[in-house]
Structure 1
Amino acid sequence: MPKEEYGAKDLSVLEGLDAVRKRPGMYIGTTDSQGLMHCLWEIIDNSVDEALAGFCNNIVVTLHTDGSVEVADNGRGIPVDKEPKTGLSGVEVVLTKLHAGAKFGNSSYNAVGGLHGVGSSVVNALSSRLDVEVDRDGKTHHMAFHQGHPGVYADADPVNPSPDSPFKRTRKNKPTELEIIGKVSPKTTGTRIRYWYDPEIFNKTAEFSYEQLIDRVRQTSFLVPGLKITIVDENVPKTNGADTVGTEPNEDVAVVAESLNADETANATESFSGEDSPLDGFAELSDDASVDGDTEAPDEEDFSLSSATEVVDGAFGEQPAHPRTVEFLHTGGVKDFVDFLSKGEPISDIWRIQGEGTYKEETQAVGEGGELHAQEIERTCGVDIALRWVNGYDTTIMSFVNIVETPGGGMHVDGFMNAITKQIRKAVEDNARKLKVNLKDSAMKVERDDIQAGLVAVVTARVAEPQFQGQTKDVLGTAQVKPIVTRLTDKQFGEMITGSKRGYKEQSARVLEKIVGEMHARIQSRKAKEVTRRKNALESASMPAKLSDCQPGNDDVAELFIVEGDSALGTAKAARNAGFQALLPIRGKILNVQKASITQMLSNKECAAIIQVVGAGSGQSFDIEQSRYHKIIMMTDADVDGAHIRILLLTLFYRYMRPLIEHGYVYAAVPPLHRIALTGSHKGEYIYTYSDDELAGKLADLDKKRIGYNDDIQRYKGLGEMDADQLADTTMDPRTRMLRRIRMEDAAQASEIFNLLMGDEVPPRKQFIVDNADDFDRSKIDT
């Protein structure tokens, strides 16, 4: 075998934004519709961060007919002067350098959503073209980029720029001068970014979602009171009547302090195409304009579609009927948000929890020479929570850090839920007699599900440099936030739920009655379920004699092992935990129900026994709530026959008990194929492997580490060859076993596959096997 040479010449170095284009998923999660929308969030969030800092109160998002998206704001504008370290303009640094921006310092931004400093540059890298305009110092500055690289486009029609226009790239390492394209009022500042996503990066199935945009912008307007956000969809044709719907501000809310004069307006908007600029009426931020106000909320936005109901085939595909322009403005903050989210009759008013706390955190600071050094600084965490209970069962809890939604929750939600759970349990104990709660009954304990039934809450935290789990920011990981939220909620919510705070006594009584009612309903439902599950099985003794059932009372964790053969059954009985593990042996291969009628299936002893033991019926009458077990585990030999039996069992479950698969109740046990007995200092220790390839690799690893082992490797031909301890350790004990959950992602595709592989027609099955033989993956045989 020729010796391979490996040296520095074999290393690849991706410079600048090339790494983003090479691995876009690392920065935006996916390159499908989700990633496409994530790019838009990054640009919008940068504008909203200006509002959070108090420098912006007007944002316009325009969907152009050529597929591009434009985001404009009246914030301070990206810096246009030179950045000392790189010699580049601030605009070029922000849009071409990863991890660059004012958000890494501690002065310009105190609470932001676009934290990582990669948002704008990543969007730039993944766009076929990006144009940026900045109003600062009385001038409008412009720069263009192609796939993240700065340069100049030669547009045939400057009013209608195109990513297909000839592009001349700026020479490498040469700063790109900002082009001055107009004049504005010295007080006018702002940023406008327009980009065309790159079809070379995103999947062909990637689609822009207008509904997601509306939902995201609406929630942002709730979270930043006083911020006006306008959506303009140029794909919707103009109408003679009004084509704008939305929320109008109260008279006492200043949105834009003053209008520019005609000349200044023309200069400020001359770079935008079309008769109507998205910045019409845009002006500098007034000194008395508010983005943090908590005045009375304006009326809820009206989404009447009377103004534009025609569906047009625009750049984003066929769009649903919606107005050309939609505006959002709210001044009540999270209180308005909870009111908007509430569905059903309110049980309580909207309760508000507000405050802040400080904590110390060690962080990396940038020194004057650009070096990083550790320093401990004091952070401030602001908390703003609104909640209410409604007369329903659904739970709506939305959480945010700054303006970023955290659908996975995190430390702020954990602190909130821990505190209200503690206070509600305490209030129930203090009012046990009135609420008819028997404290001596251990089952009568309020659970979190009881509390969350009918709860509508918005939990927000304002944190400088929060720690998220990943660039997509789904979960807040800053641990110091949790005790601050817990302390504030514990104190303020405690006063509300106990009724000690003025005006809360009657409300808290209604809330406690609802929660205790949910608790009683849950307990009664569980008792009824236990009786229903076991009444035929244990009381009438109608179960198959060969079933070795588990003990009653463990319904939520009960497991049924379907065991291949009586020989393995004896070992499994000794290996199982009889408290929650039941055993049902089957003899060989059951009936292929895909080819059989329902009468033949019910006449088959093995199939009938399985349906009877599961206890939830079959076919259309199957009720997943009546299932006597939460895990159905197929435990067969690790050979071809065992795989065939699993397929036949899966066919039975799919045809007649499909909800078991849909709810993730069906599993396949994974017994080992080999056992390696170690010798020497490791004598008495064993290693199990699950394939011949894994065995070879494990033996090679032991040889490399000079760990001795018995050359007589035990090869299990079936489950019956294991003793009870081995079977428990490898296949049955939840602490050490490995299971494969059977899932069904696409019902139509699953039906087609079952019909093809298990049905009556042989030629299509044969052709399928021939066509897919080369791509067969043995590791997926059970899935």
Structure 2
Amino acid sequence: MVTSEYSAHHLQVLEGLEAVRKRPGMYIGSNGSPGLMHCLWEIIDNSVDEALAGNGSRIDVVLHADGSVEVRDRGRGIPVDVEPRTGLSGVEVVFTKLHAGGKFGGGSYAASGGLHGVGASVVNALSERLDVEVDRDGKTWAMSFHRGEPGIFDDRGEASPSAAFRPFEEQSELRVVGKAPRGVTGSRVRYWADRQIFTKDAAFQLSELEARARQTAFLVPGLEIVVRDERADEPVETSYRYDGGISEFVEYLAADAPLTDTWRLQGAGTFTETVPVLQPDGSMAATEVERECTVDVAVRWGTGYETITRSFVNIIATPKGGTHLQGFEQELLRFLRGQVEQNARRLKAGNDKLEKDDVLAGLTAVLTVSVPEPQFEGQTKEVLGTPAVRQIVAQVVRKELAARFASTKRDDKNQTSQLLEKVVAEMKARLSARAHKETQRRKNALESSSLPAKLVDCRSSDVAESELFIVEGDSALGTAKLARNSEYQALLPIRGKILNVQKASISDMLNNAECASIIQVIGAGSGRSFDLTQARYGKVILMSDADVDGAHIRTLLLTLFFRYMRPLIEDGRVFAAVPPLHRVIAPNRGSKPNDAIYTYSEKELQGLLSRLTKAGRSWHEPIQRYKGLGEMDADQLATTTMDRSGRMLRRVRLEDAEAAGRVFELLMGNEVAPRREFIVDSSARLEVERIDA
């Protein structure tokens, strides 16, 4: 039974590993096969971090027949001594405490993939059983856990999660179960995933594991990773080791014939950031620390057109990129644009500019950065967020490419020349294809469909350059016709206030003449079928009067775009024109023409008048206050609102689509009561002067 009562005793406080079991998706992404594999990556990455720090050169991953998985390494071994703050052994701290580990700036790791201190403990919390053995100090230490709780399994023969389990009652114990050979250290972790958490069909994917092992071996030259699958009748074992590093990785990934050799772009840079640092007394203090970021990139262009890029931070893959990939791609484009401009005559490039796709065509690249305590977006570490890395990567790419292009070696000169010819050919092919497409699109739009007669189209077929002004009323249309640049500015008048599509059905929206005209003129469809590449204009500019009615019309139009053509907003192609509110005429002495000064708010007007008074200048009264676009003549409208050299546009952005959706629903939706409450509660903040009454 659902009740309306809600007080503090309804709140749940999830502590420790209980929170992980309650919300596993927050830590591992899902409770299916991807989440199961993510748990395995957490354990493997801990071993890889040891190898990166120079400890151990082999990692074994075994998929056992009983469904468990084991990871063995020859690193330093998890600490077995007592951690003073908790009174627990290092092994128990690592596997039972969230946000605990040796990667928080304590000096154990210069750079690592495990950063948040939750990897091993999360795997433990989501395992029906986890066994860990550590070779250290001449002994073999062992500990077992049942769903995150330490204790002892009563094994009779082969280890099993169904064996009787006795949790430690007073004090946990890290047992010594044998002797380790002198000088031998390492860790072994074996766990059984908890089927109460994971779905029935969740399973370890051998192909994914082998791909990850191969990738890691490329990224850590000299590290051998052995994958053994014992689930079939005949065990399958594969070993991966590559001494050539990411250069070999690029050769492995590339599918086309080479245009250039594989180039290595290497360098480093430093930056400072303020981070909380644990003090000896246990408190946290904001401290400014200097970081070093090392960059290693392998690039190779081929004769094909596919682009293959892989980016990594501390050997952790970042499939969704981040600041390091942004810096690489932006600098690559900027540098090659400069080279093409310098050689424009030889390359016959004209005044056209390269775009990112021209540069990336045929490129195979592996980008790795090593940085202490990088900022990732979420525990799954798919996007790097550290801002300073972008500039450091860009500097390294710029310096190394400049050296390559300035080289006097015959091979380097031939390859750089061929690369410039390739990117210019890609640019020309793109421009040619776009021109053909635009010709066909305009032809089809004008011939096979009857565009609204009131559309005043532009002459240009270049989508990127063209602009569609949606103007309020026929009176504004007449002035805008004279004020526009007919080469690239099209006009579509709408009659008054269009349908509120937040409250209307799709069929009502499509039957509305004004809405249908807007969708038809833009030419990219609506709703799920909307195709951004089919849009006929590079910018859509809403040009309404600077009064309450104009603001209402603009809101109705934005509601239409938000609900049915949202990719236009997401791509930053929807703008609101900003016409001026006032025109102040300040006379000049002698025969010099009077100054016409436009202001866009009451505050800006008062500031202007104050400055004129201080300068001893006068102005004509009354000051003209524009209430509609029709009050301007063509020259005034062009100067203030339409001419690119002097106008002001306000880009409509969708930083938070969910929040925008809630606001549109509140202001424009079917529910009247919340809107009435909002208006009543917000009335005190309204500026009465802004109401045209």
Cα offset, 1:523, TM superposition: 1.1
1:232 to 228, 234, 244: 228
Indicate whether 1:332 and 2:244 are aligned. yes
RMSD: 4.5
The match for 2:544 is none
CA distance in 2, matches of 1:420, 1:708: 49
Residue aligning to 2:187: 191
**Rounded Cα–Cα distance in structure 1 between residues aligned with 2:119 and 2:490:** 50
Shift of 1:150: 0.7
CA contact (8 A) 1:154 1:165 kept: yes
- Aligned twin of 2:405: 497
Cα distance 1:583–1:197, how it changes in 2: closer, same or farther (>3 A)?
farther
TM-score, length-scaled by structure 2: 0.71
- 3-state SS, counterpart of residue 232 of structure 2: coil
Q: Work out the CA distance in 1 between the residues paired with 2:280 and 2:178.
A: 35
Q: What is the TM-score normalised by the length of structure 1? A: 0.63
Distance 1:616 1:13 in 2: 49
1:369 aligns with 2:281: yes
1:478 alignment partner in structure 2: 386
| Residues 673-732 of structure 1: CA deviation (Å, up to 9, x unaligned) | xxxxxxxxxxx9x99722243x4224324544663889xxxxxxxxxxxxxx9xxxxxxx
The 3-state SS of whatever aligns with 2:244 is: coil
Pair 1:169-2:146 in alignment: no
**Whole-Å separation in 1 of the counterparts to 2:44 and 2:167:** 27
Q: Does 1:79 align with 2:56?
A: no
Give the direction of change, closer, same or farther, for the CA distance of 1:708–1:445 in structure 2 (3 Å limit). Answer: closer
User: Partner of 2:13 in structure 1?
Assistant: 13
For 1:555, the aligned partner's letter is V
Aligned to 1:700: 677
**One-letter amino acid matched to 2:189:** I
Tell me the amino acid that sits aligned with residue 212 of structure 1. E
Aligned-pair CA distance for 1:613: 7.9
CA contact (8 A) 2:105 2:373 kept: no
The CA deviation string for residues 546-575 of structure 1, in whole angstroms up to 9 with x for no partner, is 57364343536989999xxxxx99899899
Amino acid at match of 1:167: F
Residues 143, 572 of structure 1: alpha-carbon distance in 2 compared, 3 angstrom cutoff: farther
Do 2:452 and 2:517's aligned partners in 1 also have CA atoms closer than 8 Å? no
What is the identity, as a one-letter code, of the residue corresponding to 1:430?
Answer: Q
1:507 is matched with 415
Q: How does 1:119-518 map to 2 (within 5 A)?
A: 119-157=119-157, 159=158, 161-171=159-169, 174-238=170-234, 324-438=236-350, 441=351, 444-500=352-408, 503-518=411-426
Letter in structure 2 aligned against 1:707? A
CA–CA separation in structure 1 for the residues paired with 2:15 and 2:231: 38
Q: How does 1:533-572 map to 2 (within 5 A)?
A: 533-538=441-446, 543=450, 546=453, 548=455, 550-551=457-458, 552-553=460-461, 555=463
**In 1, Cα distance between the equivalents of 2:248 and 2:124?**
35
Structure 1 window deviating more from structure 2 (194-203 vs 54-63): it is 194-203
Structure 1 gaps, min length 5:
244-323, 563-567, 593-607, 633-645, 651-659, 670-683, 711-724, 726-783
Which one is further off, 514-523 or 529-538?
529-538
Q: Which letter does structure 2 place at the counterpart of 1:368?
A: P
Q: 1:510 to 1:418 in 2, by over 3 A?
A: same
C-alpha contact (below 8 Å) 2:58/2:73 kept by paired residues: yes
Alignment of 1:696-775 (within 5 A): 696-704=673-681, 707=684
Shift of 1:503: 3.9
Deviation of 1:369 after TM superposition, in Å, equals 2.2
Structure 2 unaligned segments of length 5 or more: list them: 508-515, 541-559, 575-626, 628-662
Distance 2:531 2:289 in 1: 57
CA distance in structure 1 between the partners assigned to 2:685 and 2:267 by the alignment: 63
Name the stretch that deviates more: 481-490 or 578-587.
578-587
Number of aligned pairs?
A: 559
Query: Equivalent residue for 1:263?
Result: none
For 2:26, give the aligned amino acid: M
Task: Quote how far apart the aligned CAs of 1:480 are.
Answer: 1.8
Amino acid in structure 2 at the alignment position of 1:363: V
For 1:36-51, what aligned pairs fall within 5 Å after superposition? 36-51=36-51
- In 1, the alpha carbon distance for the partners of 2:290 and 2:518 equals 62
Q: Separation in 2 of the partners of 1:125 and 1:10?
A: 25
**What is the letter of the counterpart of residue 309 of structure 2?**
I
Contact 2:266-2:295 at 8 Å conserved across structures? yes
CA contact (8 A) 1:362 1:374 kept: yes
CA contact (8 A) 1:225 1:329 kept: yes
| C-alpha distance 430-131 of structure 1, shift in aligned 2 (>3 A) | same
Q: Which amino acid is 2:296 matched to?
A: D
- Please list, as runs of the form range in 1=range in 2, the aligned pairs for 1:26-105 lying within 5 A after superposition: 26-105=26-105
Q: Is the 8 A contact 1:558 1:582 kept in 2?
A: no
Secondary structure, counterpart of 2:83 in structure 1: coil
SS in 2 for 1:98: coil
Partner Cα distance (2:137, 2:270) in 1 = 37
Moved more, 513-522 or 574-583: 574-583
Equivalent-residue separation in structure 1 for 2:304 and 2:439 (angstroms): 27
How far the C-alpha of 1:12 sits from its partner, in A, is 3.1
| Counterpart residue number, 2:577 | none
Tell me what 1:743 maps to. none
- Percent of residue pairs identical: 48
Amino acid at match of 1:112: S
Residue 401 to residue 590, structure 1, CA distance change in 2 (3 Å): closer
State the 1:410 CA deviation: 1.7
After TM superposition, the structure 1 stretch with the greater mean CA deviation from structure 2, 501-510 or 117-126, is: 501-510
Any conservation in 2 of the 1:87–1:175 contact (CA below 8 Å)? no
Is the contact between residue 50 and residue 75 of structure 1 (CA under 8 Å) also seen in structure 2? yes
CA pair 362-348 structure 1, distance change in 2 beyond 3 A: same
CA distance in 2: counterparts of 1:422 and 1:520, whole angstroms: 18
| Bigger mean CA deviation after superposition, 541-550 or 501-510 | 541-550
Tell me the amino acid that sits aligned with residue 237 of structure 1. D
8 Å Cα contact 2:404/2:412 also seen in 1: yes
Structure 2: which amino acid aligns with 1:108?
Answer: S
Measured in 2, the distance between the counterparts of 1:393 and 1:222 equals 24
Q: Which amino acid aligns with 1:52?
A: L
Shift in Å at residue 411 of structure 1? Answer: 1.9
Matched, 1:24 2:2: no
Moved more, 454-463 or 429-438: 429-438
Conserved? CA contact 2:226–2:239, under 8 Å = yes
CA distance in 2, matches of 1:457, 1:534: 38
Contact 2:264 2:299 in 1 (8 A): yes
Q: Does the CA contact (< 8 Å) of 1:702 and 1:708 recur in 2?
A: no
> What is the DSSP-based 3-state SS (H/G/I as helix, E as strand, rest coil) of the residue aligned with 1:385?
strand
Q: What residue identity is the alignment partner of 2:676?
A: L
Q: Return closer, same or farther for 1:5/1:379 CA change in 2, 3 Å cut-off.
A: closer
Distance in 2 (CA, whole Å) between partners of 1:580 and 1:226 is: 62
After superposition, what is the alpha-carbon deviation per residue over 1:236-292, rounded to whole angstroms, capped at 9, x for unaligned? Answer: 322xxxx7xxxxxxxxxxxxxxxxxxxxxxxxxxxxxxxxxxxxxxxxxxxxxxxxx
Q: Work out whether residues 454 and 492 of structure 2, in 8 Å CA contact, stay in contact via their aligned partners in 1.
A: yes
SS at structure 1 position matched to 2:312: strand
Q: 1:506 to 1:624 in 2, by over 3 A?
A: same
Q: In structure 2, how many angstroms separate the alpha carbons of the residues matched to 1:93 and 1:704? A: 51
C-alpha distance 21-616 of structure 1, shift in aligned 2 (>3 A):
closer
Cα contact 1:129–1:196 (8 A) shared by 2: yes
Cα distance change, pair 495–72 in 1 and its aligned pair in 2 (3 A)? same
CA contact (8 A) 1:543 1:613 kept: no
Alignment correspondent of 1:689: 667
Cα distance in structure 2, aligned partners of 1:4 and 1:466? 44
